[in-house]
Amino acid sequence: MKPRATVATDAGSAEGRGSAPAGEGDGDDGSRARAHGPLRTDGSERRGRKGKKAAAPANGITRKLRLRRDRTLILMTLPAMALLLLFNYVPLLGNVVAFQDYDVYDLGITGSPFVGFDNFTRIFQDYRFWEVLLNTLVIFLTQLILFFPIPIAIALLLNTIMSARVRAWVQAIVYLPHFFSWVLVVTVFQQMFGGAGLVAQWLREHGHEGFDLMTNPGFFKFLVTSQAIWKDAGWGVIVFLAALAAVNTDLYEAAAVDGAGRWRRMWHVTLPALRPVIALLLVLRVGSALNLDFEQILLQRDQVGAGASEILDTYIWWTGIKTGDFGYAAAAGIFKGLFSVAMVLGANKVAHMMGEQGVYSKK
């Protein structure tokens, strides 16, 4: 009988607890009941007084609290955002010139008459424009094939150097030409490979015929590529060295234990680690196919002639801006921008097909 009495007593106490008024319980349920009324037991979401869902703050923090927490960082970024807006986005409004018969001296943007797509029609009907576009793409492909692998090779070479002091000296030497102006770079190449350069003089002193690579139209695309390699290859190594620094050293040790030599470790460990970075930089490089160095080409344009050295930027400069035909120049600039966007999207699609993320993810 005692067990039954005990059960009855427990049931009665549980009944008493269950019949207690709402709000007198202990813990969170009681406090929520006092603050918001009785809890719903049918699984539906609790709604506010006006029948709207109570919005749950993201990550437990409301937008107001996030703004208050990050107000210092927001204030620090405001000047940079203002400069970006002022110098990068406000000038985009000037593209309206491409649809006008623009008169920079008398009428201006507000007074120049609209001509629709006449400036674009002039571009597409200009055979010289397509020759320049083809020449620009040829120079770009030459630089892509000969220049793009050089920073990767230098990074792999520096990664194999064990002495930190030697690595630092090599990095300083290969980085230094990046800070030279194109005037200095072209001057150095003129003194080395010009008609009166050191190489030509040495050949003549030893009974050979000299040469002048600086005025050879057929060699021009290789000349500008070699100048770009000497100037910027060392600077491009930085990204690949950062990627190599993130490679787990345990992978090299495991490969060495499995009997892989230096070349095998580079092929199966190092290059796969660099593959995402290579794909990203390749996509960005393809997107800038028409953005060759304007100053570099302009400095050497007269030496080899416009037929071999003319690129899209110099052609726009000579036929558009220098002659005052700003509508034609603006239309060519819009075409260049749209072409670059299409190249980026196409290269990024190829990167996705190869299993890489590219500039942005597929999701």
Query: So what's the pLDDT on residue 307?
Result: 85
Q: What pTM value is reported for the model? A: 0.74
Least confident of 3-17, 110-124, 125-139: 3-17
How do residues 200-240 score in pLDDT, each as one tens digit? 889 888 888 878 889 889 899 999 999 999 999 988 898 88
**Three-class DSSP category at 131:** helix
C-alpha span between 341 and 320 (Å, rounded):
23
**Average pLDDT in the 129-133 region?**
92
Query: So what's the pLDDT on residue 196?
Result: 85
Alpha carbons within 13 A on the beta-carbon side of 242:
8
Helix residue ranges per DSSP H, the chain: 2-18, 27-36, 63-69, 71-84, 108-111, 118-125, 127-146, 149-160, 164-175, 182-193, 198-205, 220-245, 249-257, 262-265, 271-287, 294-304, 306-309, 312-316, 326-353
* pLDDT-derived band at 247, boundaries 50, 70, 90: confident
Nearest residue to 32 via CA among 22, 41, 42: 22
The answer to whether residues 133 and 312 touch, using CB atoms and an 8 Å cutoff, is yes
Nearest residue to 303 via CA among 198, 213, 228: 213
Helix residue ranges per DSSP H, 216-305: 220-245, 249-257, 262-265, 271-287, 294-304
Partners of 114 in the β-ladder: 100
Q: Read off φ and ψ for residue 47, nearest 5 degrees.
A: -120, 160
The answer to whether residues 104 and 324 touch, using CB atoms and an 8 Å cutoff, is yes
Q: Which residues contact 284 (CB under 8 A, 6 or more apart)?
A: 344, 359
C-alpha span between 59 and 81 (Å, rounded):
27
C-alpha span between 308 and 301 (Å, rounded):
8
How do residues 291-342 score in pLDDT, each as one tens digit? 888 999 999 988 898 888 999 999 988 888 888 888 898 999 899 989 999 9
Token pair, residue 254, equals 């495991």
Nearest residue to 222 via CA among 304, 314, 143: 143
Count of beta carbons in the 10 Å neighbourhood of residue 352: 15
**Average pLDDT in the 153-169 region?**
85
Query: So what's the pLDDT on residue 56?
Result: 54
